[in-house]
Structures are given as C-alpha cells and as structure tokens.
Amino acid sequence: MTLEELKSEMSALGEKSFRAKQMYEWMHVKLAEDFGQMTNLSKELREKCQGEYSYTGLKPLRVQESQTDGTKKFLFELSDGNTVESVWMRYKHGNSVCISSQVGCRMGCAFCASTLDGLERGLLPSEMLEQVYAITRLTGERVSNVVIMGTGEPLDNYDHVVKFIRLLTDENGLHISQRNITLSTCGLAPQMRALAGEGLQITLALSLHAATDEKRRQLMPIANRYGLDELMEACAYYFEKTGRRITFEYSLLSGVNDRREDAAGLIRLVKPLNCHVNLIPVNPVKERDFRPTAQEDVIAFKNKLEKNGINVTIRREMGRDIDGACGQLRRQALKE
C-alpha cells in the first residue's frame, strides 16, 4: 500500500492518520519483518493487523557468495512456495541489487535460463520491495541502486512494477533515487511508451542483442510482435518525455551477432539516439548452445562503436562462479 492507501485503511479501522505514517515508517524505513515489531503502535492495533492483513515476507533459502568479487546471490521463497532469485553486487559507487519481477518468464529469449519453464506469475509490489529490504537486512548495508534485470519481463507485470518503483523511491520510505533505478525490457513497445508518461526519472534499458529484425526474431520471439522501427521510436519518445538517456543491452554471442556487419548495423541503428550501449559477454546456459565472444573480439567490437561516437561499456561480469546469470540458481534448486 502507498502511504495514502494505508491512511484510508487506518481511518476505516477508526485509527488516527498519524498511525499510518508510523506504520509506513516501520515497513519501509525500519524494515520491520511483521506487525509485532511495531512497538510504538498499541498492542491491540498490532494484533488486529496480524489477524486481518497479510505482511509479505521472503524466506531466504540459499545464499551463494562469489569468491572472486563478493557478489551474493539469494534464493527466496514466497508465501505460495514459489522461489525467486536476487543478486547483490558491491560497486565503488554503492551497493546494487538486481531483482526479479516475475516467477519465471514467458518471453522465450533463446539464450536465457529464466524462461525455460515459462511464466508462473507476476510478483506483487511488496514481493519486489521485500527482495531489496531482505537483502538490506541480511547484508546490513544500504542499497543505493536497483536494477530490474532479474528473472521476468517487468513490462509484462506493468502496474505492479510501476507501483514498486513509486514505493521504493518514495521520500517517506527507503527513498532510493529514481536515477539509480534501471528497468530492462525485451521490448514491449506500447508499455515503453506508457512508462515514458509515468513522470519517473528511471533509466530504461532495451535488450537489443541484434541490429536487424530478422536476426532479432531468431533470438527473441517478442521481435515478431514489435519491430526495430517501432522500438527505436518508443526509445526516442522515452528520451523526449523524460530526458533520460536510453541504455541498449547487447549480449555478444559468438558467431551469431558479433561480426563486423553486426557492429556496423548496430552503429546505424543507435547512432541517431542519445544512448549508451552496454555489451554483455553472454553467460553460457547449459540448456542452450551459445558461446561467449572471445575477449579480444569484444574489445574490437567496442572500439568500432566508440570510433563512431557511440558511448559504450563492457559489462563487468560478476558472480560467474555462483551462477550469476538470470534464472540459473532457481532452476538448479527446482531440479534438486
């Protein structure tokens, strides 16, 4: 619930509206784990809430810590027994959490482990928030950046994701800066346009992975629905409405999209936009046949883009030794 919703809920219970403010602070600032911890509320109110409302909690089932970079991967159990994974990464500029937005995914990208078993359901705003809150409690450190890049397609769970972002960035809550939030999508053009109109200052990342419709359709089924022209127009619109530079994610798959003509196509495609390209060496997934591009070829690809005036970075790989890529930990746990 937003603070406003909580206020009307409290007044329906006959409580004063400052109770809502106190309760909201327990939930979103002090990160209480249940109503019982809210010690400045009357015992009567706490018990009433415990009886009549549900309070989202996630049970940490597994934690894996990378021996090389300290990245931690968490597998959480939801109240219905489903599991989701989230990743905590420590950077010089602060701690970043990568959250899941759905249980599974129905987008079917050819290189991704998260989609192998299809979609179970979208996550509630509270279940997304709680990934950030639980990790804050477990690590004892503040989270400054959140990327919605874990399992699931966030724009396929649009209303819940937008509400989650509003709660996460609310000044009465944890108050994470909107500029420190990135939402990654495989390219649902209408929802990208809708997001542009939400009045948010978050970064939109588009998973491109190919510079022609033909090649993109081989990798990403969603490309059959929305072509590159439509996506680029949606990106330009997002920039126009928000002033936020677009990020394009491009996973390099050896022999598939990493050749000279692929770089040239990518340059032509993104050059007109105010953007940033993030190259990702593909994370090999057992069930899939893709191999990562060799390091020197990644650098050559990057150099080509740079020579053409495009902002480009190579994503630092973290947590490779702990199944860092989308969906791999959950899958392994499911199998076991």
Active site positions, annotated: 85, 326
List the alpha helices (DSSP H) in the chain: 3-12, 17-28, 43-52, 125-139, 158-169, 189-196, 213-219, 228-242, 260-270, 295-307, 328-335
In the complex, least distance from residue 68 CB atom to ligand SAH, rounded to whole angstroms: 18
How many CB atoms within 10 Å of residue 232?
Answer: 20
How far, in whole angstroms, is CA 222 from its chain's centroid?
18
What does residue 335 show for φ and ψ, rounded to 5 degrees?
-65, -45
Question: Which of 6-14, 51-59, 109-117, 157-165 is the region at the interface with ligand SAH (rule: CB under 6 A)?
Answer: 109-117
Instruction: List the one residue from 112, 246, 263, 312 that touches ligand SAH (CB under 6 A).
Output: 112
Instruction: List the one residue from 76, 111, 226, 238 that touches ligand SAH (CB under 6 A).
Output: 111
* 145 belongs to the binding site for ligand SAH (CB under 6 A): no
Give 35 or 293: the residue with its C-beta nearer to ligand SAH: 293
Give 97 or 325: the residue with its C-beta nearer to ligand SAH: 325
Give 78 or 148: the residue with its C-beta nearer to ligand SAH: 148
In the complex, least distance from residue 139 CB atom to ligand SAH, rounded to whole angstroms: 22
Q: What angle do CA 278, 296, 94 make, to 5 degrees?
A: 40
* 185 belongs to the binding site for ligand SAH (CB under 6 A): yes
Give 9 or 198: the residue with its C-beta nearer to ligand SAH: 198
Binders of ligand SAH among residues 203 to 222 (CB under 6 A) are: 207
Binders of ligand SAH among residues 17 to 56 (CB under 6 A) are: none
* 184 belongs to the binding site for ligand SAH (CB under 6 A): yes
Question: Which of 59-67, 130-138, 237-245, 277-285 is the region at the interface with ligand SAH (rule: CB under 6 A)?
Answer: 277-285
* 326 belongs to the binding site for ligand SAH (CB under 6 A): yes
Q: How deeply is 224 buried, as exposed, middle or buried, from its count of CB atoms within 10 A (0-12, 13-18, 19+)?
A: exposed
Q: What is the largest CA-CA distance in the chain?
A: 69
Q: How deeply is 92 buried, as exposed, middle or buried, from its count of CB atoms within 10 A (0-12, 13-18, 19+)?
A: exposed
What angle do the packed helices 3-12 and 17-28 form, to 10 degrees? 130
Q: Side chain identity at 14, as an amino acid letter? A: G
Q: How deeply is 16 buried, as exposed, middle or buried, from its count of CB atoms within 10 A (0-12, 13-18, 19+)?
A: exposed
In the complex, least distance from residue 140 CB atom to ligand SAH, rounded to whole angstroms: 27
* 153 belongs to the binding site for ligand SAH (CB under 6 A): yes
Question: Which of 14-22, 62-70, 89-97, 106-114 is the region at the interface with ligand SAH (rule: CB under 6 A)?
Answer: 106-114
Question: Which of 7-15, 20-28, 174-182, 278-286 is the region at the interface with ligand SAH (rule: CB under 6 A)?
Answer: 278-286
* 258 belongs to the binding site for ligand SAH (CB under 6 A): no
Do the Cβ atoms of 119 and 154 come closer than 8 Å? Answer: no
**What is the radius of gyration, based on Cα positions, of the chain?**
21
In the complex, least distance from residue 251 CB atom to ligand SAH, rounded to whole angstroms: 4
Which element (helix H / strand E) includes 40? none
* 279 belongs to the binding site for ligand SAH (CB under 6 A): no
Going residue by residue from 223 to 252, which x/- string records binding to ligand SAH, judged by CB under 6 A?
A: --------------------------x-x-
d(CA 10, CA 276): 45
- CB within 8 Å of 49: residues ≥ 6 apart: 23, 35, 55
d(CA 141, CA 98): 15
By rule CB under 6 A, what count of residues binds ligand SAH?
18
Do the Cβ atoms of 50 and 61 come closer than 8 Å? Answer: no
In the complex, least distance from residue 209 CB atom to ligand SAH, rounded to whole angstroms: 6
Sites of contact with ligand SAH (CB under 6 A): 107, 109, 111-112, 149, 153, 184-186, 207, 249, 251, 280, 282-283, 285, 325-326
